[in-house]
């Protein structure tokens, strides 16, 4: 049997398979030369202007019976407008860019001798076949503030406009790296001008996919799952032969060497996750649909639909277009998965559907705050809903046919029905939020009396219980489902971890000491003493007040040790308004955390039993009066407290009774403290979902990662969770496991800790328990081993962070084991810092770093924790020497310099290919010989330093004396030594002469922004051509082919662009 080798590198495992599949979808590959020619050989240009101009020339416009093309004047103006767009990936400017691409553009042009205003377009969305689709791999783009370049792996162009940017990774590399690269490239100093036009961004390997649109922070990139295109369709596409037109450019240049391997590897290969993402997001017709219909602007944020939003809208429209199914249905998408934006997308699609004349959308909720929230969401996206706050107002809006989008509360229909208002149109679409809740029942009949022929669609974020089967009868069958487990797997929400916590009002001395130790972790002795004095006052309390006081101490200590200062907030759910006031009083007395209460007005008629007795609700009334004095009215009070909780540092804890337990979206909400029982399982599930939102730490500047939402249960509520889950139907593959996979007990998490610890120690098993720190650093010289170490350390530290915030961990784990975990975290964190510096790795100041820093400070003591610093500039000898002085061995110093040199070589290769290729090979040789034991550490360090000196002098020792004063000529000479001229017999003197001539040509013809001026570049190319024809071929008889001349010229231009200020 023949052993056919397989490859796992990025090119063979991801990039080339993606390019081949895209070519089969209809994306025509362009060679590097073709792409550069189409943009006039300007690396700063990202539009393939020749292709865009060709599309505009081919576009046929009409006026009356006349058909004509866009004239050259208008084409020039349209191109100027397109190219003048400033970089911006969010806000109004981003929306204006989308408008320019997706909406018709008005131009003035004479038709039959008369000036007419006519609509032209950059993309033909109605007739996709009229567009041109091109693909450019390794698309070189010059950075905005330097001559350095970046090369996204694949860029897809529609009519010459870059619409999709793809980063490919090998399976062993996390696609988070591709996401990070893409976000970096959008920043002002990199290549933001490419992302002016891009609509879809992807990071892929064969097993994973993540996608987003421009301006999306890393935490909010989504996974695409394709549910419309069949497997047989994808299979047929993969098996389809490449066209001859695509084959040649696809396997040109740097990809030519992979042609034979890829042809063998593609034959009968399996379908991958990457394939599904590409066909789902990049098939030309799908890409156009997503761009125009499923990208919207939510305030300043540009948003692209998640796959479940796309599916829900697609399936709902299919029902609307089918007469027998038009009655409606149910969309069940779990909380936090973007349900409100799904409603926006559906409403927009219904109103834009030409098959539905005079369409109207009515959005129905059952609470005032949800009604206001949905109206706000629609308004943020540019739509203008009319909100009916009274029954009469709703009746007026129903009569007003211009009110195409109406929001209201379900109970307003009772008054409308009494007024006998009725709209019998069949083109009315009712979008009912949480339509299965019991309060809809008594108002549902009135709603249907007002809109008897409307289509009713219910949206719900919680499963539909068995005793709510009438929901299906009222609204129709289930249209689409997206469960909690789906959302967690897709990272659309964070998982939930719950801990039952028992705080006893009466504890013996030992129990009390243990409790105090846990609550005062990280405090000084003086602080601990003060804390105990404050707690002593609980001895004079009794009954419920003592329970509240004890729990308040526990909540305060837990929040301070685990969340304070991280940007994450907490929500405390209490059983009554009176309890809310008491909890705040206790938290204020303790004085460690800030809190606010959010409740509705108290009924002053309740609670009076005798004239002499103090009203038990008087504290609530006094609190309410104080809030009204401070804020002015209830609406301002609600909005003010919520805004502070969401966007300000304080309050850290918000105390609620029933408010904010449904539909409240605050990503900073990280922990839910439950001191209240829930009678309805659906209400419990709604409440715990308040802490499952993903937090955009990069975009908001918060200091910690939110990996999970934590639920601390003081009332035994979650002990009944399993029982609650069993009350739900098994709909569309949903079963109890769907929720159990998304909600885990703290005990389940703690079970992982010994395993994570062992996995970390196993990385270093070959060292046999050595206590030599240098041995550990040397062992981590291999990047793959280092990466494994980082992964294992991160996994261990995250579980330990969760454990250290848990009472169960301290109660169930021996103190000796806890100390060992803390000690190992500390030493391995220091090791991580040291090896990152030693091997000059890029430092990502991630949320993980900041969370671990807090954990070390609070639970371990970080006085000996080394700080991670970014890599140094290898050309700055002062910082190099400073770093060397901090390293103890010759080997660690040599490792540091060689790793720094390798990064610089990778970044600067195109500036002087000959020099940097030689240095790269030299480093590899020195390192290999040292590993083989050919010389000692001192000699290893000396040789690495010699190579570093060679880099600093740009290889001056190997440069001919006549070129030593001209570094540009020396760089050109270095390249020419590797060019076809050497094989053709060019003498050393002739290569030196050619190098000088090239350098002199650039100096004489240099102008500001040279590489953005095609005419000047063509003049330089002409001078180089003349030298090759007249001197190389004419006087010296070298037989250069046209292809060889083009290759030499292209490489010279690349070196010049990388080296010379433009």
- Unique residue bearing structure tokens 């696809």: 250
Residues 75 and 57 sit within 8 Å (Cβ to Cβ) = yes
With bands split at pLDDT 50, 70 and 90, how would you rate the model's confidence at 444?
Answer: confident
Residue 728 has pLDDT above 50, yes or no: no
Cα separations (Å) of 120 from 71, 107, 159, 197? 11, 7, 14, 18
Average pLDDT value for residue range 189-195: 92
What is the spatial distance between Cα 26 and Cα 381, in angstroms, rounded to a whole number?
33
Max CA-CA distance within the chain?
119
Please write the tens of the pLDDT for every residue from 83-124: 887 776 555 677 888 888 888 888 898 888 888 888 999 999
* CA–CA–CA angle 1062, 989, 1047 (5° rounding): 50
Residues 143 and 233 in one domain: yes
Same domain, 591 and 717: yes
Cβ-based neighbour number of residue 876 at 10 Å: 10
Q: Which residues contact 905 (CB under 8 A, 6 or more apart)?
A: 916, 919, 920, 923
Is 141 in a helix, a strand, or coil?
Answer: strand
**In-domain check, residue 294:** no
Task: Decide if pLDDT at 611 tops 50.
Answer: no
Range 127-142 average pLDDT: 95
pLDDT at 631 over 80: yes
Of residues 520 and 308, more confidently modeled: 308
CA distance linking residue 382 with residue 103, whole number of Å:
15
What pLDDT is attached to residue 506?
64
pLDDT of residue 239: 94
pLDDT tens column, 211-234:
999 999 988 899 999 999 999 999
Q: Specify the DSSP element, H or E, that contains 969.
A: helix 967-976
Residue 726 · residue 507 · CB < 8 Å: no
Judge whether 297 lies within some domain: no
What does the pLDDT read at residue 545?
A: 80
**What integer pLDDT is reported at residue 869 of this predicted model?**
42
> Which of 8-17, 698-707, 801-810 has the least mean pLDDT?
698-707
Residues 848 and 990 in one domain: no
- The torsion of the CA quartet 728, 730, 736, 737, rounded to 10 degrees, works out to -160
Whole-angstrom distance, CA of residue 517 vs CA of residue 859: 11
**Total domains in the fold of the chain:** 6
**683 and 553 both lie in a single domain:** yes
pLDDT digits (tens, 9 = 90+) for 646-669: 989 999 999 999 888 877 888 899
| Mean pLDDT score, 702-722 | 74
Q: Is it the case that residue 235 has pLDDT exceeding 50?
A: yes
Bridge-partner residues for 119, per DSSP?
A: 106
Question: How far apart are alpha carbons 597 and 1017 in whole angstroms?
Answer: 68
- The whole-number pLDDT of residue 521 equals 67
Bridge partners (DSSP) listed for residue 647: none
What spatial distance separates the first Cα and last Cα of the chain, rounded to whole Å? 58
Confidence bin at 435 (pLDDT 50/70/90): low
> Is 930 within a domain?
yes
Range of 73-77, 147-151, 1050-1054 with top mean pLDDT: 73-77
Please check whether residue 487 lies inside any domain of the structure: no
3-state per-residue secondary structure call for 609-625:
CCCCCCCCCHHHHHHHH
Q: What is the pLDDT of residue 183?
A: 93
Write the pLDDT tens digit of every residue in 853-899.
Answer: 555 555 554 334 343 444 455 555 666 667 667 677 777 777 777 77
Is pLDDT of 699 > 50?
no
- Which tokens sit at 465? 């219980």
More confident residue, 309 or 93: 309
CATH number at residue 726: 3.40.50.300
Q: Which of 860, 885, 900 is the last residue of a domain?
A: 860
Q: How far apart are alpha carbons 125 and 394 in whole angstroms? A: 37
CB 193 within 8 A of CB 150: no
Query: Buried b / exposed e across 264-274, counting CB within 10 Å, b at 16+?
Result: ebbeeeeebbb
Q: Is the pLDDT of residue 153 over 50?
A: yes
Report which of 122, 141, 40 is spatially closest to residue 74, judged by C-alpha positions: 122
Q: How confident is the model at residue 128 (pLDDT cuts 50, 70, 90)?
A: very high
Q: Are 680 and 662 in contact (CB under 8 A)?
A: no
Question: Is the model more confident about 105 or about 22?
Answer: 22
Say whether pLDDT at 181 is over 80.
yes
Check whether 42 has a pLDDT greater than 50.
yes
Q: What is the spatial distance between Cα 703 and Cα 693, in angstroms, rounded to a whole number?
A: 16
The stretches of 271-321 forming alpha helices (DSSP H) are 273-282, 284-293, 307-320
Residue 50 lies in a domain: yes
Show the domain range for 911.
Answer: 877-958
- State how far the Cα of 171 lies from the Cα of 175, in Å rounded to an integer: 8
Residue 813 confidence (pLDDT): 83
Q: Of 883, 864, 861, nearest to 872 (Cα)?
A: 883
Neighbouring residues of 76: CB distance < 8 A, sequence distance ≥ 6: none
- pLDDT confidence tier of residue 1057, bands split at 50, 70 and 90: confident
Indicate whether 32 and 100 sit together in one domain.
Answer: yes
Task: Write down the pLDDT at residue 732.
Answer: 35
pLDDT at 845: 41
pLDDT value of residue 1062 = 46
- Across residues 262-266, what is the average pLDDT? 89
704: left (phi over 0), alpha (psi -120 to 50) or beta: beta
Q: Which residue has the higher pLDDT, 1013 or 825?
A: 825
Tokens of 786: 């280092």
Total length of the chain? 1062
Using alpha carbons, list the distances in angstroms from residue 979 to 112, 618, 869, 1054.
Answer: 59, 91, 41, 14
Mean pLDDT value of segment 73-82: 90
pLDDT of residue 1054: 77
For residue 126, is it within any domain?
yes
Is residue 250 located within the same domain as residue 193?
yes
Residue 57's pLDDT is what? Answer: 94
- Report the C-alpha gap between 689 and 290 in whole angstroms: 29
Indicate if 70 and 166 belong to the same structural domain. Answer: yes
Identify the domain boundary among 831, 860, 889.
860
d(CA 753, CA 740): 20
The winner for highest mean pLDDT among 172-176, 211-215, 589-593, 688-692 is 211-215
Is the domain of 193 the same as that of 273?
A: yes
Q: Which of 911, 939, 493, 983 is nearest to 738 (CA)?
A: 493
> Is residue 662 located within the same domain as residue 787?
no
If asked whether residues 849 and 906 sit together in one domain, one would say: no
* Final residue in a domain of this structure, among 257, 289, 321: 289
For position 672, what pLDDT does the model report? Answer: 93
pLDDT at res. 942: 80
Read off the pLDDT band of 289 (50, 70, 90). Answer: very high
Whether residue 967 sits in one domain with residue 938: no
674 in a domain, yes or no?
yes
Same domain assignment for residues 655 and 777: no
What is the number of other CB atoms lying within 10 angstroms of the CB of residue 1019? 13
Return the pLDDT at 489. Answer: 84
pLDDT above 80: residue 297 = yes
Q: Output 142 or 956, whichever has higher pLDDT.
A: 142
The chain-wide mean pLDDT, for the chain, equals 81
Task: Using the predicted structure, report yes or no on whether residue 608 has a pLDDT greater than 50.
Answer: no
Does residue 300 form part of some domain?
no
Mean pLDDT in residue range 945-960: 65
């Amino acid at each position: 049997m023949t052993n056919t080798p397989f490859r796992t590198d990025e090119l063979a495992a991801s990039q080339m398979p993606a390019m081949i599949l895209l070519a089969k979808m209809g994306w025509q590959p362009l060679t590097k030369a073709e792409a550069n020619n189409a943009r006039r050989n300007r690396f700063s240009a990202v539009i393939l202007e020749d292709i865009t101009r060709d599309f505009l020339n081919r576009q046929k416009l009409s006026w009356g019976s006349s058909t004509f093309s866009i004239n050259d004047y208008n084409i020039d103006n349209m191109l100027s407008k397109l190219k003048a767009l400033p970089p911006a990936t969010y806000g109004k400017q981003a929306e204006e860019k989308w408008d320019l691409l997706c909406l018709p553009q008005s131009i003035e042009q004479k038709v039959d001798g008369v000036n007419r205003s006519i609509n032209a377009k950059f993309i033909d969305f109605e007739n996709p076949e009229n567009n041109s689709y091109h693909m450019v791999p390794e698309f070189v783009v010059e950075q905005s503030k330097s001559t350095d370049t970046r090369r996204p792996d694949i860029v897809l162009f529609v009519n010459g406009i870059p619409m999709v940017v793809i980063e490919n990774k090998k399976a062993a590399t996390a696609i988070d790296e591709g996401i990070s690269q893409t976000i970096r490239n959008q920043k002002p100093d990199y290549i933001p001008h490419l992302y002016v036009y891009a609509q879809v961004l992807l990071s892929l390997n064969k097993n994973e996919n993540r996608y987003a649109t421009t301006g999306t922070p890393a935490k909010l990139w989504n996974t695409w799952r394709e549910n419309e295109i069949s497997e047989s369709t994808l299979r047929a596409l993969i098996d389809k032969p490449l066209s001859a037109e695509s084959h040649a450019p696809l396997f040109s240049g740097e990809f030519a060497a992979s042609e034979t391997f890829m042809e063998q590897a593609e034959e009968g290969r399996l379908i991958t996750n990457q394939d599904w993402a590409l066909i789902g997001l990049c098939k030309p017709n799908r890409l156009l649909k997503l761009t125009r219909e499923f990208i919207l602007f939510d305030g300043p944020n540009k948003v692209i639909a998640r796959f479940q939003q796309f599916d829900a809208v697609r399936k709902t429209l299919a029902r609307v277009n089918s007469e027998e199914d038009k009655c409606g249905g149910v969309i069940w998408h779990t909380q936090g998965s973007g349900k409100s934006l799904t409603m926006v997308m559906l409403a927009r699609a219904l109103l834009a559907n030409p098959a539905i004349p005079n369409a109207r959308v009515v959005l129905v909720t059952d609470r005032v705050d949800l009604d206001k929230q949905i109206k706000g969401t629609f308004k943020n996206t540019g739509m203008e809903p009319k909100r009916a706050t009274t029954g009469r107002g709703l009746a007026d809006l129903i009569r007003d046919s211009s009110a195409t989008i109406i929001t209201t509360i379900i109970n307003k229909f009772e008054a409308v029905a009494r007024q006998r208002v009725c709209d019998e149109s069949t083109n009315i679409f009712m979008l009912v939020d949480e339509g299965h809740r019991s309060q809809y029942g008594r108002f549902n009949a009135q709603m249907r009396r007002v809109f008897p022929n409307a289509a009713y669609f219910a949206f719900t974020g919680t499963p539909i219980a068995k005793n709510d089967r009438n929901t299906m009868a009222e609204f129709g069958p289930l249209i689409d489902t997206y469960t909690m487990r789906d959302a967690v797997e897709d990272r659309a929400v964070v998982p939930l971890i719950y801990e039952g916590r028992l705080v006893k009002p009466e504890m013996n001395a030992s129990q009390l000491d243990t409790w105090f130790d846990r609550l005062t972790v990280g405090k000084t002795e003086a602080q601990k003493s003060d804390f105990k004095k404050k707690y002593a006052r609980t001895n004079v309390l009794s009954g419920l007040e003592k329970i509240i006081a004890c729990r308040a101490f526990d909540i305060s200590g837990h929040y301070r040790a685990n969340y304070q200062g991280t940007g994450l907030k907490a929500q405390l759910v209490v059983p009554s308004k009176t309890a809310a006031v008491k909890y705040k009083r206790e938290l204020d007395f303790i004085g460690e955390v800030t809190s606010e209460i959010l409740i509705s007005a108290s009924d002053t008629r309740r609670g009076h039993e005798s004239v002499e007795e103090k009203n038990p609700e008087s504290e609530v009334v006094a609190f309410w009066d104080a809030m009204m004095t401070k804020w002015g009215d209830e609406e301002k009070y609600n909005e003010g407290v919520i805004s502070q909780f969401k966007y300000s540092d304080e309050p850290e804890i918000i105390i609620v009774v029933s408010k904010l337990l449904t539909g409240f979206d605050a990503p900073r909400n990280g922990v839910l403290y439950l001191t209240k029982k829930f009678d309805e399982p659906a209400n419990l599930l709604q409440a715990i979902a308040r802490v499952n939102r993903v937090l955009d730490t990069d975009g908001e500047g918060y200091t910690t990662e939110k990996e999970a939402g934590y639920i601390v249960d003081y009332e035994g509520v979650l002990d009944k969770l399993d029982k609650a889950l069993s009350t739900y139907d098994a709909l569309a593959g949903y079963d109890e496991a769907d929720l159990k996979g998304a909600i885990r007990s703290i005990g389940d998490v703690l079970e992982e800790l010994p395993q994570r610890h062992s996995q970390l120690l196993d990385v270093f098993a070959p060292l046999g328990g050595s206590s030599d720190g240098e041995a550990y650093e040397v062992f981590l010289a291999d990047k793959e081993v280092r990466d494994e170490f980082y992964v294992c350390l991160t996994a261990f530290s995250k579980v330990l962070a969760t454990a250290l915030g848990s009472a169960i961990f301290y109660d169930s784990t021996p103190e000796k084991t806890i100390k060992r975990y803390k000690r190992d975290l500390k030493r391995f964190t220091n090791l991580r810092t040291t090896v990152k510096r030693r091997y000059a790795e890029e430092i990502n100041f991630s949320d993980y770093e900041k969370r671990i820093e807090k954990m070390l400070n609070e639970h371990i003591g970080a006085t000996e924790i080394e700080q991670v610093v970014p890599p140094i500039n290898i050309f700055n000898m002062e910082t190099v020497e400073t770093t060397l002085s901090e390293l103890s061995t010759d080997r660690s110093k040599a490792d540091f310099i060689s790793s720094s040199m390798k990064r610089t070589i990778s970044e600067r290769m195109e500036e002087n290919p000959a020099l940097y290729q030689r240095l790269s090979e030299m480093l590899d040789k020195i390192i290999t010989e040292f590993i083989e034991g050919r010389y000692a550490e001192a000699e290893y360090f000396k040789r690495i330093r010699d190579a570093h000196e060679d880099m600093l002098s740009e290889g001056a020792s190997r440069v001919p004396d006549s070129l030593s004063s001209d570094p540009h000529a020396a760089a050109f000479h270095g390249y020419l030594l590797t060019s076809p001229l050497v094989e053709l017999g060019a003498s050393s003197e002739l290569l030196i002469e050619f190098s000088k001539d090239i350098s002199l040509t650039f100096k004489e013809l240099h102008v500001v922004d040279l590489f953005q001026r095609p005419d000047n570049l063509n003049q330089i190319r002409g001078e180089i051509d003349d030298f090759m024809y007249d001197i190389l071929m004419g006087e010296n008889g070298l037989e250069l082919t046209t292809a060889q001349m083009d290759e030499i010229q292209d490489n010279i231009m690349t070196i010049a662009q990388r080296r010379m200020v433009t």
